[in-house]
Amino acid sequence: MGRHGSHPSPDRRIPRRGSFHTIFAGWIWKRLLFINPCMRDWRPILLLLTLSMLFSGCVTKDRDHRILVSVADQSMELYHRSTLIGRFPISTSKFGLGDRPGSRATPLGRMEVAKKIGAGAPLGAVFKNRRQTGEILRPDAPGRDPIVTRIIWLKGLESQNRNAFNRFIYIHGTPEERNLGHPASFGCIRMRSYDVKEVFDIVGLGASVDVIPGSLPDTPKQAALASASPLPQTPVSAAPASGATVASPRAVQTGVGGVIAGPAASASAR
């Protein structure tokens, strides 16, 4: 009965405790009563609201870009569909390969870009627990080895890398640029600040990331095609000590690190 012996009030019919759905339903119920006191069937409206929230949170995955990481070469390639648009020196783990929690190893296999953190941050911006600290480091700052500039958080798609997301496996910037080209990380994939910013700006959520133990496949194939074919071919230059190159006559230098190919460099993720 109600407070004065009358029928229970509408508010009293709704549990105050319970699951999130129960609480949310009660919130909707009370507000619907203000609109129409005769309305009692709130379940269809709740279903519509839930579906609208789910669809509004959906993000179209980037199916146009692909990242390929070679542990043997300590190098990364960026593709727009089947076209190579960039090659960059990187560092994988100095503790080897694997996915066991606590191993500090770099996982192999196919992953995807799950989150992107740090858009708009200056080059060299220091991150701790995925938040900017306000400090900015120059490359090769002595005695410092934090995550800098950008974070591309990876999610494993296979049994051999299923722990990648919970292990906080990132592609991220490093101030220790002198060590790129050699295994030096604690599980993540390290890049120069300028390079990771370029990759961050191009790839979207859901873009695939493949980490392979062997060498990158495109360089020997393209070299063989160039030597065997009588037609003019665009050569792929050998990667210099300071960085890498791409197969494009109109490549645009992205700094002291990798190179982004001209026409595809501005391709935006979908």
Q: Phi-psi bin for 266: left (phi > 0), alpha (psi -120 to 50), beta?
A: alpha
Co-location of 41 and 88 in the same domain: no
Q: What is the mean pLDDT of residues 226-237?
A: 37
Q: Quick one: 42 and 171 in the same domain?
A: no
122 in a domain, yes or no?
yes
- Give the pLDDT band (50/70/90) at residue 267: very low
Q: Among 2-6, 69-73, 237-241, where is mean pLDDT lowest? A: 237-241
Per-residue pLDDT band for 207 (boundaries 50, 70, 90) equals: very high
- pLDDT of res. 217: 82
User: Does residue 248 lie in a domain region?
Assistant: yes
Residue 257 lies in a domain: yes
Domain extent at residue 28: 11-48
Between residues 109 and 19, which one has the greater pLDDT? 109
Query: Same structural domain for residues 69 and 40?
Result: no
Indicate whether 187 pLDDT > 60.
Answer: yes
pLDDT of amino acid 127: 98
Q: What is the 3-state secondary structure (H, E, C) of 69-109?
A: EECCCCEEEEEECCEEEEEEECECECCCECCCCCCCCECCE
What confidence category does residue 218 fall into, taking pLDDT thresholds of 50, 70 and 90?
low
pLDDT for 19: 53
Non-local (6+) Cβ contacts of 198 within 8 A are 86, 254, 258, 260, 265
Q: Is the pLDDT of residue 171 over 60?
A: yes
Burial class (CB in 10 A: 0-12, 13-18, 19+), 266: exposed
Residues 19 and 116 in one domain: no
CA neighbor of 118 nearest in space, from 92, 152, 142, 91: 152
How many CB atoms neighbour CB 215 within 10 A? 13
Which domain CATH number covers 208? 2.40.440.10
Average pLDDT over residues 221-225: 41
Q: Round to whole Å and give the CA distance between 74 and 114.
A: 23
Say yes or no: 38 and 126 in one domain: no
**Cα distance between residue 177 and residue 221, in whole Å:** 29
Shared-domain flag, residues 83 and 134: yes
Are residues 77 and 30 both part of a single domain? no
Q: Which pLDDT belongs to residue 240?
A: 41
* pLDDT for position 149: 98
| First-residue to last-residue Cα distance in the chain | 58
* Domain assignment of residue 179, yes or no: yes
Same domain, residue pair 147 and 241: yes
Mean pLDDT of the chain: 77
Same domain, 34 and 75: no
- Spell 107-142 as b/e; 16+ CB within 10 A means b: bbbebbbbebbbeebebbbbbeeeebeeebbebebe
**Helix 43-56 vs helix 20-35: angle between axes, to the nearest 10 degrees?**
110
214 and 246 belong to one structural domain: yes
34 and 122 share a domain? no
Residue 4 lies in a domain: no
Residue 246 counted as domain residue: yes
Looking at the structure, tell me whether residues 254 and 196 fall in a common domain: yes
For 132, how many CA atoms within 13 A lie in the half-sphere containing its CB? 15
* Cβ neighbourhood burial of 102 (10 Å; 0-12, 13-18, 19+): exposed
54 within domain boundaries:
no
- pLDDT (0 to 100) of residue 113: 98
Q: What is the dihedral of CA 170, 174, 179, 185, to 10 degrees?
A: -30
Stronger pLDDT, 35 or 217, i.e. the higher one: 217
Asked if residue 53 belongs to a domain, the reply is no
Q: Give per-residue pLDDT as tens, 78-133.
A: 999 999 999 999 999 999 999 999 999 999 999 999 999 999 999 999 999 999 99
